[in-house]
């Protein structure tokens, strides 16, 4: 699909507002309702209700745009806003009427009424200038354009996708143009001293957008047997008694990203924010039985492999799960620096990874320390050495290698992850601001699980990696300063709705 999406113009007020509200944007994107729209698993009755309510909302949105015209300098902005009004009208006729005949049959429900009342109150307020009104209507256009891009990026939407028309409409040029027009007007019209009111209106509209999606959570419906496939990941990893890494981090990540998780525990660890105190390996028979139980009953989309502390367990994984897409996080060392694979087993474990697991893996996700152990080389630092190391790791057979940059401190301000596509011989680089925090326990587990979640939802590996890195960055930012544990290796806060999310 052609990508029409453009970010707000750099340096403007609109860009600042969009960046400051990324938490709500991502909450909306990852809402099960929105994800169901993207992958086609949303119950059709819920979608019909949503479209009817959205049509009623857009009627109020058009009225608010009219207030924008009335309050603005018509000679400078009237033409653009009138064109925008026509565009919203076209959307009503095309996309919405494609799915529903009579949106007025039910009347506006609470979330719709609340959002429309907010917009109209802003538009009618005599003491609020046009910039505040424009700020209140931007989130609808910007958020939908971004969600449309995120749900379709790297995908071809099949002709039989139940929500194909919706996805095409909200990833197309008109919705992106609407966002750009409004943002351009805001950047031009905002006056000194208005930013506080503008930011408040923008934020409130973003909150109401999320509430609108969330209002349909109770009517997702129960689909008939066989009408939908629920993305399911089989986690093969060790338990972390402190809840920060391992199996617990995997479960939290998959839950946050709307994917069902099943389990095969490899080990039970006694660990906390101070380090790893003890490890007990799970008996081979019960380890194999767990995988048999899951695969004989569930349709597993992806396997996520974490800590597997013995060569025999890795061999069993190769025997039982060889035909499934596999995300392999070759966990050898905890974030605290503690060895998780006994020294006496290390060589056998590395050999089994290379012989049985990596050749079957869709993607492997070692950090720099693990890559150095696997390759038997020291001091992988900088992007060029990372690229060379990723290529070398790919020779063991995985389709992709993601070499994580968190342990490479060559650049103290940035963290660079390198993804290598072996079949295409192509590199992708992902750069994020390095965050000074001690809440990093379980970052590797979280990233690999997030990749498996997005793969389970059907995203190509490079897109899944990009989105997973974005999720991890968001989680690290949210977790900064959360005082869980007494050590220097503290856990992450995965859910934006967690009681800890607003602790600090």
Nearest alpha carbon to residue 301 among 231, 399, 228, 226: 231
Backbone angles phi, psi at 71, to 5 degrees: -90, -15
Pick the catalytic residue from 64, 444, 446, 485. Answer: 444
Q: Based on the residue annotation, tell me whether 152 is a catalytic residue of this protein.
A: no
Local structure of residue 317 (DSSP, 8 states): H
The DSSP secondary structure of 221-258, one letter per residue, reads: --PPTTS----EEEEEEEEETTSSSHHHHHHHHHHHTT
Structure token pair of residue 48: 């019909």
Q: Based on the residue annotation, tell me whether 445 is a catalytic residue of this protein.
A: yes
Q: Decide: helix, strand or coil at residue 81.
A: helix
Q: Based on the residue annotation, tell me whether 320 is a catalytic residue of this protein.
A: no
Pick the catalytic residue from 112, 445, 446, 485. Answer: 445
| 287, 316 Cβ separation under 8 angstroms | yes
Nearest alpha carbon to residue 138 among 189, 202, 59: 202
Pick the catalytic residue from 238, 306, 442, 485. Answer: 442
Pick the catalytic residue from 152, 253, 269, 440. Answer: 440
The DSSP secondary structure of 333-363, one letter per residue, reads: B-TTS-BSS-HHHHHHHHHHIIIIIGGG-SE
Local structure of residue 485 (DSSP, 8 states): S
Q: For residues 349-382, b (16+ Cβ closer than 10 Å) or e, as one string?
A: bbebbbebbbebbbbbbbbbbbbbbbbeeeebee
Q: Based on the residue annotation, tell me whether 440 is a catalytic residue of this protein.
A: yes
- Give the residue carrying structure tokens 């939802």: 457
Nearest alpha carbon to residue 170 among 197, 139, 193, 146: 146
Structure token pair of residue 195: 């930013």
Q: Element (H or E) spanning 421, and its range?
A: strand 414-421
- CB-count exposure of residue 220 (10 Å: 0-12, 13-18, 19+): middle
CA distance 38 to 60: 26
Q: Decide: helix, strand or coil at residue 305.
A: strand
Q: Which residues pair with 276 in a beta bridge?
A: 271
Structure token pair of residue 173: 């040029």
Residues 6+ apart with CB under 8 A from 273: 242, 244, 441, 484, 485, 486, 487, 488, 489, 490, 491
> Parallel, antiparallel, or unpaired: how do β-strands 426-433 and 326-328 relate?
unpaired
Q: Based on the residue annotation, tell me whether 442 is a catalytic residue of this protein.
A: yes
Q: Element (H or E) spanning 276, and its range?
A: strand 275-281
Pick the catalytic residue from 55, 152, 443, 446. Answer: 443
Residues classed as catalytic: 404, 440, 442-445
């Amino acid at each position: 699909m052609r990508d029409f999406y453009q970010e707000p113009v750099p340096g403007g007020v609109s860009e600042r507002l969009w960046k400051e509200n990324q938490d709500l944007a991502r909450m909306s994107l990852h809402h099960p309702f929105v994800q169901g729209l993207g992958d086609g698993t949303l119950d059709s009755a819920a979608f019909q209700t949503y479209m009817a309510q959205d049509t009623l909302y857009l009627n109020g949105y058009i009225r608010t745009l009219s207030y924008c015209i009335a309050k603005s300098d018509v000679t400078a902005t009237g033409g653009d806003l009138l064109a925008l009004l026509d565009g919203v009208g076209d959307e009503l006729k095309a996309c919405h009427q494609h799915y529903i005949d009579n949106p007025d049959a039910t009347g506006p429900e609470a979330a719709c009424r609340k959002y429309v009342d907010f917009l109209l109150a802003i538009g009618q307020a005599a003491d609020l200038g046009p910039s505040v009104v424009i700020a209140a209507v931007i989130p609808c256009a910007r958020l939908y354009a971004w969600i449309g891009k995120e749900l379709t990026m790297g995908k071809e939407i099949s002709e039989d996708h139940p929500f194909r028309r919706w996805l095409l409409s909200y990833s197309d040029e008109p919705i992106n143009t609407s966002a750009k027009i409004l943002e351009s007007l805001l950047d031009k019209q905002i006056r000194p001293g208005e930013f506080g009111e503008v930011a408040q209106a923008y934020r409130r509209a973003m909150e109401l957008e999320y509430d609108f999606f969330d209002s349909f959570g109770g009517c997702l419906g129960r689909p008939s047997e066989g009408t939908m496939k629920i993305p399911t990941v089989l986690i093969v990893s060790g338990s972390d008694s402190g809840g920060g890494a391992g199996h617990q981090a995997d479960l939290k990540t998959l839950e946050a990203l709307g994917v069902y998780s099943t389990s095969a525990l490899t080990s039970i660890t006694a660990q906390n924010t101070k380090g790893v105190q003890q490890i007990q390996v799970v008996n081979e028979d019960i380890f194999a039985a767990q995988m048999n139980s899951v695969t004989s009953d569930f349709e597993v989309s992806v396997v996520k492999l974490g800590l597997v502390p013995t060569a025999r367990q890795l061999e069993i994984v190769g025997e039982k799960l060889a035909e499934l897409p596999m995300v392999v996080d070759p966990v050898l060392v905890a974030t605290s620096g503690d060895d998780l694979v006994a020294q006496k087993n290390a060589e056998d474990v590395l050999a089994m990874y290379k012989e049985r697991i990596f050749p079957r893996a869709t993607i492997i996700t070692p950090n720099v320390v693990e890559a150095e152990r696997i390759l038997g080389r020291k001091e992988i630092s900088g992007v060029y050495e990372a690229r060379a190391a990723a290529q070398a790791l790919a020779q063991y057979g995985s389709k992709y290698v993601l070499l994580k940059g968190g342990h490479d401190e060559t650049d103290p301000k940035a963290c660079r992850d390198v993804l290598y596509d072996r079949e295409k011989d192509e590199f992708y680089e992902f750069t994020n601001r390095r965050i000074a925090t001690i809440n990093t326990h379980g970052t590797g587990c979280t990233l690999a699980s997030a990749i498996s979640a997005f793969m389970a939802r059907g995203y190509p590996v490079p897109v899944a990696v990009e989105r997973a890195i974005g999720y991890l960055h968001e989680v690290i930012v949210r977790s900064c300063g959360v005082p869980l544990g007494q050590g220097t290796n503290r856990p992450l806060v995965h859910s934006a709705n967690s009681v800890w999310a607003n602790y600090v």
